[in-house]
A = this chain, B = another copy of it.
Amino acid sequence: MEIVSKAKSHGGVQGVYRHASDATGTPMTFAVFVPPQVDSGPVPVLWYLSGLTCTHANVMEKGEYRAAAAQHGVIIVAPDTSPRGENVPDEPGNWQFGSGAGFYVDATQAPFSTNYNMYSYIVDELPALIASQFPADMKRQGIFGHSMGGHGALTIALKHPDRFKSCSAFAPIVNPSTADWSRPAFEKYLGKDETAWREYDAVSLIEDGRRFPEFLVDQGTADSFLTTGLRPELLAEACRKAQIPLRLNMREGYDHSYFFISSFMADHIDWHAARLK
């Protein structure tokens, strides 16, 4: 693991790191904020998964998470959203597929299956690296994210309820199998058989019996993707039927940007911290 940069911030250290990933076959860059409380021992880890077009840097620069993370003493890990590089198959100009759009799946279809294995990267490879390189208490992990990263957080939590003590999302894609902006990506990564897509779809996973103790979701009412790609009411309905407590905060006038995310970042970290104590 190579240190790209380190800077003191809010009493802790915001670092950027790079390593050669087996899962993606590429160098992968990620950001880690380590709070000052590590001086007294390992601290909980909160995973933040970013949305379409993002790298590790967007939330690191615009997410305003460090004050709350330093207050509560949690490590924040912000991975990249896809493999990148000259040898990685991509569709330049298509922001909903390929580079910046890994959708947190393990692709099964050539030529994408060689590199686009963000599910294994986030679930297996990067946690092992974090556990070995940072003062992280891996028995206390939470996960959250935005948009495509909200989808990632919900699906990964539903498939790993024993690992994560908390899960929340900002404006998540809750049912990518049926949304026009994600169906083409799912088909290219996972093939035409839509039954395979259900493993990477929060609503489908709940319908298929997966459970998580509770979810927190914040969603802006002025989000231009609200009624087409995001549709939180589908998650609400699935949670209602499955009796999963969902706190869904519809935020009047907020859009899909980091101006929205940062407004409720402290609320989410408070919520996770209470469950990671």
Encoded as 1 (CB less than 8 Å from any B CB) or 0, chain A from 198 to 225 comes to: 0000000000000000000000101000
The answer to whether B61 and A64 have CB atoms under 8 Å apart is no
Query: Counting CB contacts under 8 A, is A85 at the interface?
Result: no
Q: Give the segment of A48-56, A116-124, A257-265 that binds chain B.
A: A257-265
Query: Counting CB contacts under 8 A, is A67 at the interface?
Result: yes
The answer to whether B11 and A61 have CB atoms under 8 Å apart is no
Q: Which residue of B lies closest to A266 (CB)?
A: B67
The answer to whether A10 and B263 have CB atoms under 8 Å apart is yes
The answer to whether A9 and B66 have CB atoms under 8 Å apart is no
Tell me what chain A mostly uses at the interface: helix, strand, loop, or mixed: mixed
The answer to whether B62 and A259 have CB atoms under 8 Å apart is no
The answer to whether A8 and B62 have CB atoms under 8 Å apart is no
Task: Report how far A205 CA is from B257 CA in the complex, Å.
Answer: 43
8 A Cβ contacts from A239-277 to B: 253-255, 257-260, 262-263, 266
CB-CB < 8 A to A8: which residues of B?
A: 220, 222, 253-255, 259-260, 263
The answer to whether B67 and A7 have CB atoms under 8 Å apart is no
A165 CB, nearest partner CB in chain B, Å: 26
Q: A8-B222, A8-B254 are in contact. Are A259 and B14 (CB under 8 A)?
A: yes
Q: A8-B222, A222-B8 are in contact. Are A66 and B262 (CB under 8 A)?
A: yes
A160 CB, nearest partner CB in chain B, Å: 31
- From the candidates B7, B61, B67, B259, name the one contacting A9 in the complex (CB within 8 A): B259
Q: Which residue of B lies closest to A251 (CB)?
A: B8
Encoded as 1 (CB less than 8 Å from any B CB) or 0, chain A from 220 to 240 comes to: 101000000000000000000
CB-CB < 8 A to A260: which residues of B?
A: 7-9
